[in-house]
Structure 1
Amino acid sequence: MFETLLLNFLFLLLPVLLFIIFFENRAYSYNRIIIVFLSAVAMSLCIAKPFKLDIGYIFDLRYIPFIIVALFGGYKNVLPLYILLNVHRFYVGGEGIIQSFLFSTILTILIPLYNKKFMKLHSKGRIIAATVIAFLTMAFYLFTLSFNHGALNQQFWILTINAFTTHVGVMIVIMILIEKIIDNIKNRDRIIQSERLNVVSELAASVSHEIRNPLTVTSGFLQLLRKSKTITKEEKTYVELSLQELQRAEKIVSDYLLYSKPQSENMVYSNMSEESQYTKNIITPYASIHKVEVVFTFNNTLNKNYDRNQIQQCLINLYKNGIEAMKENDGGKLYIDISEKKQNIIIKIRDTGIGMSKEEISRLGKPYYSTKEEGTGLGMLMVYSTINKVKGNIEVDSEKGKGTTFLITIPT
């Protein structure tokens, strides 16, 4: 039995190891398919090599990858595993086919219901939740099994002890490994993002001032030319277009200047009360135009050293993006909540707009990427740059058609 236990454990480790080695850096949608496929392979191998106890009972660890995929991926990802599990079980044959089918059907219906709440838990919370669900799953399985075996003799209790300890222990180990992988991916992304923002910041500081000077001079001469009475109406139109493009170019340069190092004259040590109230007042008329109601709450006493102008611009950019995301819905609500938690300033900005896919979320903050047709992506780049300078962290939760939530954590 010990050899079979190690073999089943190896089957469950196989998807984890293969994912780390070959697929960790792939796109999210591609990774999802690979994870489901590897989980299906592990589940099939567990069914093919079950535990065979001396007392005559047979069981395996097939439901561990099944539960994990159901919790992380929901109905969409667990359905292929459900089909494969039952096809394989019918192929193996023997007693208990109907019971296995009914049991797997109940799990397929119930466990994915917890998917959204599960994904919002922190790392330790997910490990505990998955372990509890594995325990309850096995308890339910043994409960139904007890009806088929009459009196609960010593053999049944031996099976119960083996099933509980094996499933709970293996689930804990696998979940710890999965959470470690997730944590490593997040840390790597933070480092890459930080390096990218530093490069942009240095580029902005060294180039923007030099570009702004000739833009200003050119704009001045074009304005003088526009006042001339010797140019034709068509030529005046060309001048107007040129001035508009120069203004747009100057705005982009101004955005780049915001990525430079915080200015000493703008540095404050505060709890962001003035900045949040100021930006809320600034954005309210814009929200009213687009039929958006702003719901603002502030409950923070923690202070932080930061550049006032950059924080203000950061918040305005996030508010503006949230309002514009609700244009297609003909209005909505923008929730702004600034609070404190365990020596961290928490800024939560939620809209009820069009939402984003996970692919779009993964590309936020990258230079020149924008979800808007006319956007340059510099606004979100500035947001990530500002939060990075105060050693903060940004988490984005979004769903197509339901809205987006930005959760910013700033340590004090």
Structure 2
Amino acid sequence: MMIIPLVNIILHRQSRCQRKNWIFLIVICISLLLSMLFPVRIADGLEFDFKYIPVFIAFFYIKPRYGLIVIGFLISVTFIVEIDKVLLTIINYFIISILFFSVYKRYHKSKLPFKLFTGIIFYLLIFGTRSIYLIQIGYIEDIPHLLSFSAISIVTLSAIIYLIEMNKLHVIMMEQLKNADKLNAISQLAASIAHEIRNPMTTIRGFLQLMKDEKNLTSNQGMFISLSLEELDRTHHIINDFLSLARPSSPLTESIPLSKIIFDTADFMRPYAVMSNVNIILNVEDNLLIAGNINECKQLFINVIKNGIEAMPNGGNLEIIAFQQSHLAIVEINDDGIGLSPLQLKQLGQPYYSTKTKGTGLGLMITFDIIKRMKGDYEISSTENEGTSFKITFPM
């Protein structure tokens, strides 16, 4: 069974491996096969094995469909090794699958103690059914064997879950450390050269403006000057983004009328939306109040709304929903644009990564940083060619 977490750790280090899930599935099936071929045999013809553990890991640590593949493999091996137990195996794992599906989403949103508790509780159900079976066939004296084997199984499953979860945490921390290093490098770069870049840019822009007003320019020369001015403006925005990252966070915290901020930002972005043939739809509750810096909050929503509009090159609807749920203020910004692939979704917010041709990736990076400073949380879900949903949660 310890092959499973070992391979999981190795695969997580192989960032370029495209078939991690299938490799992990094969290893899990090999562990399952070994467990079934070499069970613990005791008196009276009773056997115990670890086949529940690979099924649990495949279901919760790859995907449910892979868990069903492992169950299918288990039933196939049972058909070859112990054909008289096929029907019982099918019934048992049909029930287990239903239980697994019922807690799958909550399992992935929960912390380690809940995950350990879930694995143990499900195994205790198996222990209970096996105990009832032994009592019915008159093998009460074998219950201590079952008890000791179940204790070993629970320890084994708990160890595997713990090792996999610690590995996931380690990978996340390494990614955060890499991003922190990139952010630190960007901040130092911005602070050291932004001012030096701005001075010559201002001079160049001034001369180009003077040249643009000349009457003897050809149409091509006028076009070249206009393009140069546009690119200078874009460079100016990029420098501002760099400076936003380098600037220390404001210690000022005030009460922010979230509802009003959303309405004001939507009105501010509406002309840009009209130019892109996008209709902004608002469904915002009144009197939503949160804490933070009001200017940063405005910048946050401008960035997200602008991204939503630009994700719909052929026009569409951008829906902004804001409401209170318990002690939280929830804002959802939904577009029906081009959407994102799972790989693009994973890379969002990294410096220099952008799905836009002329993007730098700094806008979303600043957005995520502002949400973090306001003690908020965010969740992005997207489907290619269907749209993206950006959900932001703030404490009231």
**2-structure distance, mates of 1:160, 1:325:** 59
Q: Which residue pairs with 1:56 in the alignment?
A: 45
1:38-95 deviation per Cα after TM superposition (whole angstroms, max 9, x unaligned) = 3222222211221212242112111112112212333332243233323332332453
Identify the residue that residue 230 of structure 1 maps to in structure 2.
216
Residue type at the aligned position of 1:351: N
| More displaced stretch, 194-203 vs 162-171 | 162-171
Query: Partner letter of residue 371 of structure 1?
Result: T
> Mean alpha-carbon deviation: is it higher for 197-206 or for 35-44?
35-44
Q: Structure 1 residue 151: deviation in Å? A: 4.5
Which residue number corresponds to residue 15 of structure 2?
26
Residue pair 2:284, 2:322 contacting (<8 A) in 1 also: yes
Alpha-carbon distance change, 393 to 369 in structure 1, aligned in 2, over 3 angstroms: farther
- Post-superposition offset of 1:154: 0.8
In 1, the alpha carbon distance for the partners of 2:289 and 2:18 equals 38
Tell me the residue number matched to 1:291: 279
Following the alignment from structure 2 to structure 1, what is the Cα–Cα distance between the partners of residues 176 and 17? Answer: 17
Q: Secondary structure at the match of 1:61?
A: coil
1:16 Cα deviation after fit: 0.9
Which aligned pairs between 1:217-296 and structure 2 lie closer than 5 A?
A: 217-262=203-248, 267-271=251-255, 273-274=256-257, 277-284=260-267, 286=269, 289=274, 290-296=278-284
Q: What is the identity, as a one-letter code, of the residue corresponding to 1:278?
A: I
- Deviation at residue 197 of structure 1 after TM alignment: 0.9
Tell me, yes or no, if the aligned pair for 1:74 and 1:115 is still in contact at 8 Å. Answer: no
- State the partner residue of 2:166: 180
1:46 aligns with 2:35: yes
TM-score normalised to the size of structure 2? 0.80
Which residue number in structure 2 is paired with residue 9 of structure 1?
none
User: Partner of 2:30: helix, strand, or coil?
Assistant: helix
Distance in 2 (CA, whole Å) between partners of 1:233 and 1:328 is 30
Shift of 1:22: 5.5
- Alignment identity in percent? 23
Contact 2:58/2:64 (8 A) holds in 1 = no
2:346 paired with 1:362: yes
Distance in 1, matches of 2:36 and 2:223, equals: 75
Q: How does 1:346-361 map to 2 (within 5 A)?
A: 349=332, 351=334, 353=336, 356-361=340-345
Gaps of 5+ in 1: 1-11
The reply to whether residue 78 of structure 1 matches residue 67 of structure 2 is: yes
Shift of 1:322: 4.4
Is 1:323–1:334's contact at 8 Å kept on the other side of the alignment? no
Q: Of residues 362, 367, 377 in structure 1, which corresponds to 2:361?
A: 377
Q: Secondary structure at the match of 1:365?
A: coil
Cα distance change on mapping 1:153 and 1:36 into 2, 3 Å: same
Distance 1:338 1:212 in 2: 43
2:320 counterpart SS class: strand
Residues 111 and 158 of structure 1, relative CA distance in 2, 3 Å threshold: same
- Letter in structure 2 aligned against 1:268: L
Q: Distance in 2 between matches of 1:358 and 1:168?
A: 34
- Deviation of 1:220 after TM superposition, in Å, equals 1.6
Contact 2:321–2:332 (Cα < 8 Å) also in 1: yes
| RMSD of equivalent CA atoms | 3.7
SS of 2:29's partner is: helix
Checking the alignment, whether the CA contact within 8 Å between 1:255 and 1:379 is kept in structure 2 is: yes
Indicate how the Cα distance of structure 1 residues 40 and 260 shifts in structure 2: closer, same or farther if over 3 A, else same. Answer: same
Q: Among residues 104, 114, 123, which one is paired with 1:125 in the alignment?
A: 114
CA shift, 1:337, in A, is: 5.8
Following superposition, the deviation at residue 262 of structure 1 comes to 2.7
How far apart, CA to CA, are the structure 2 residues paired with 1:338 and 1:187? 32
TM-score, reference length from structure 1: 0.78
Residue 366 to residue 163, structure 1, CA distance change in 2 (3 Å): same
